[in-house]
Amino acid sequence: MEDFIHTRHHRISWIVLQELELFNPLAKRTAFCENFYHEFRFMNLGVRSHLDPNYSSTLFWPLNSHRKSGRMKEHIRSLLQEQNQATEGSPAFPLQFNNQDFVKLQNYCLHQGLLFEDDTFPANSHSIGLNLFPEEKLRKIQWLRPNELVRNPHLFVDGISRFDILQGQKIGNCWVLAALGALTQQQRFLKNMIPTDQGFNHTYAGIFHFQFWYFGSWVDVVIDDRLPFIDGNYLSVHPRSKNEFWPSLLEKAYAKLQGSYEKLHYGFISEALVDLTGGVQLTFNLGIPTDHLFEIMKTAALSGCLMACSSPEMKKTGRQVLENGIVQQHVYAVIDAREVPYMDGKELLIKLWNPWGTVEWNGAWSDHSMEWDRVPQSFKDKFYVNRADGEFWISFEDLKDNFSFLSVCNNLPTFLDFGKENNTSWSVVSYFNQLSPEGSNYQRDALSRNHQYFIKVPEFMMKYNVVVALMQRPDNISRTLANIGFQIKKGRTIVHDTQLNKIRDITIPYQLNAGDYIIIPMASPQNQKLKFLLRIFLRSQGNIREPSNEFSSETTKDMLFWNPDNYESVFFRYAYQNSYLDASQLQRILNDVLLKVAVSSINANGKLSLQEFKRLWGAFKKYEDIFGREDENNSGFLTISNLQRIVQETGLYVSDKVLHLLVLRYGDSTQRINFPDFVCCMFRLETMSKAFLNLSKNRGSICFTEDEWMTMIMYC
């Protein structure tokens, strides 16, 4: 298990464990095991280690104060492992890449007063790649830490955005950066990849870590923060803000996973999308467009999928950028797909982002085009932006004319759920195995006898109902790939045959008739055993899929708080045609909009009605306004004096002692409170104040029965 618990103190007397998700008493206890990155808070020290910004503390367990933090962490790890052994390799329990434990290495460096140096990915030419540059150029590369470049480095500046990324000109890694740019829109994917327990604060020791999906499991990749420079410039990706370093550090971690920076020089966008998300990816040929392709793209954009498209190989040698602004042999992130009224009809538009951070399409629907003057003003105000940031709109027809392939990725293939018939759900089953080819001749039948996987398609559908994804694990040393493929048989009849291709992943959607099928992975003969992962996604009728795959999270940097007047549409969007919200649906709203909020159901029946949700939604707006008013310097934090003033204006009674406890519980080590924690605090404070008034009946004191006490403690 790779939980990340850190503190600069050697002794603590209390640890706070969260077993109820989001302070929500409706959440099932299994959420403790199944949800990612649980948060631990060290209350009496005013120190906390964020493992997930979506969690707050509720249950307190005393530990012997003489225990050292190292033993305590091991104890916590063992407890969590006992609760759910099956999660090894998940984002919450990633495998250690190269057997490097981030927590142990960080603590050792802090204790010794050292800055970490990674001997498994050293600061030398081997980590760059011996074939990327001439030897004399490799010798010129310098490795510098962020604090050697700027006085006040940060991992993030104002959150995470694709506009933080600027591709360098030395390495052709647009396939990685386009995937990363698309991913920055989706908090649910970001939180799996970028742990929040690191930065340039008191825990800084020159060590960072990031998580990637590698052959069916999430792995934690540890790096030092020495970055390669040549002639005073970043060797590869560089941030738009000089003191922001997450793009460069994340790229270094991915280069380490791949083997070197050289391995990032040209690659497949399909592989990057899968590595960053653990999802399923489909590639569409824009030269031979699939029926309903725009509907697929629109559904993908609405459901929070990642998309990217690639331009064809150079038509004109010696000139990478065409007259229309499109970069040849380049990958762009697809940000959105929309229909807009135009003249007497509609225009299908696609929004793209160039990882260069500059150079944009200059044809129809570009930043300066006249087409935007012929759409309703409301649509222009909503979608049109004239800014030199690499992002632009292009018509769907021009997209097909100027780009060759489109890649779409999500944890489930929900982007295939276009159209009206969407009352279906996707399930997935995974198989890890290995082929043992023998001999030197091409013998397909010999390879397939021991690896046959059976599926049952319950009924025919008018859309794709089966997706087969086959992945091979490259050899650890040579990284060479075998020729792989698969057959689908119904009885003795071969229904589909992919043939064999030298590629890491093959993913194909199918529209199969009802019946029983056999899927047979295959490979051309190799000298060693070939490990593979087979994932089969099957659509079934009648079950409504989780809304988490239907509606996207908001952008991390450009978080928008929805208008409280729209509470009704938001309610029915997430209630998914029901007349109430259950705990998981409410949690999803809070994750999407506020990242973390503590709430309780008014009727204690496990559900929120529309009227209850209306009051809750209005409270969000109230707290947002209060926070914005008190945060006069836009720092993103409130102080204890701000909180005291707010509590007094709200009409709540809080003693100085309680006020200081609130700041310790909800504030950071400097006693500052951010917006999500402020909302948690105010909800909790108001809830407990009302509970006291109701139970005391204005007598100034409360007498509890055992049942009332347990209800108060465990529920409120």
Q: What is the pLDDT of residue 614?
A: 75
Report pTM.
0.66
DSSP 163: G
Q: Does the pLDDT at position 687 exceed 60?
A: yes
Total residue length of the chain: 716
- What would the pLDDT profile of 586-643 be if each residue is shown by its tens digit? 665 665 544 333 343 344 455 666 676 777 778 888 888 898 888 887 788 899 889 9
Confidence check: pLDDT of 433 > 60: yes
Average pLDDT over residues 135-153: 93
Most confident by average pLDDT, 238-242, 546-550, 558-562, 574-578? 238-242
For residue 94, what pLDDT band results from cuts at 50, 70 and 90?
very high
Structure tokens at 285: 């040929």
Exposed e or buried b per residue across 456-470, where buried means at least 16 C-beta atoms within 10 angstroms of its C-beta: ebeeebebbbbbbbb
Contact between residue 509 and residue 502 where contact means Cβ atoms under 8 Å apart: no
**474: its two tokens:** 């490259």
Q: How many helices (H) and strands (E) does the chain have?
A: 21, 29
372-406 pLDDT, tens digit each: 999 999 999 999 988 889 999 999 999 999 999 99
Average pLDDT over residues 441-466: 71
Provide the pLDDT confidence category of residue 707 given band limits of 50, 70 and 90.
confident
CA distance 456 to 433: 21
Reference 80, options 46, 51, 48; nearest CA is 51
The answer on pLDDT for 422 being more than 80 is: no
Q: How confident is the model at residue 563 (pLDDT cuts 50, 70, 90)?
A: very low
Q: Which of 57, 15, 55 is nearest to 38 (CA)?
A: 55
Angle separating helix axes 610-630 and 567-575, nearest 10 degrees: 120
Instruction: Tell me the three-class secondary structure of 53-87, residue by residue.
Output: CCCCCCEEEECCCCCEHHHHHHHHHHHHHHHCHHH
When pLDDT is averaged across residues 102-115 and rounded to a whole number, the result is 96
pLDDT digits (tens, 9 = 90+) for 358-368: 899 999 999 98
Residue-wise pLDDT for 49-76, tens only, equals 333 333 333 333 333 333 344 555 555 5
pLDDT number for residue 462: 81
Give the CA distances from residue 508 to residues 466, 505, 535, in Å, rounded to whole numbers and listed in that order. 9, 10, 11
Helices (H), 194-305: 246-258, 269-277, 293-302
| pLDDT tens-digit series, residues 225-235 | 999 999 889 99
Alpha helices in 84-116 (DSSP H): 102-112
**In this structure, are residues 409 and 303 in contact, taking their beta carbons and an 8 Å threshold?**
no
Q: What is the mean pLDDT of the chain?
A: 78
Average pLDDT over residues 238-252: 93
- Positions annotated as catalytic residues are 174, 330, 354
- Count CB-CB contacts under 10 A for residue 487: 18
pLDDT tens, residue by residue, 198-235: 999 999 999 999 999 999 999 999 999 999 999 889 99
Confidence band for 569, pLDDT divided at 50, 70 and 90: low
Q: Residues 193, 199, 205, 210: what is their CA dihedral angle, to the nearest 10 degrees?
A: 10
Alpha helices in 510-655 (DSSP H): 567-575, 583-593, 610-630, 640-650
**Residue located via tokens 């050899």:** 475
What is the reported pLDDT for 19? 28
Which pLDDT score is estimated for 695? 76
Phi then psi dihedrals of residue 312, to 5 deg: -70, 170
Q: What is the pLDDT of residue 681?
A: 87
Tell me the C-alpha to C-alpha distance, in Å, between residue 530 and each of 281, 479, 487, 501: 22, 12, 17, 14
Rounded CA separation 241/219 (Å): 29
Contact 651, 690 (CB under 8 A): no
- Express as a percent the part of the chain with pLDDT over 90: 43
pLDDT at site 607: 61
| C-alpha torsion sign, points 606, 611, 614, 619 | negative
Q: Which domains does the chain have, with CATH numbers?
A: 95-269 (no CATH), 280-415 (3.90.70.10), 425-541 (2.60.120.380), 567-715 (1.10.238.10)
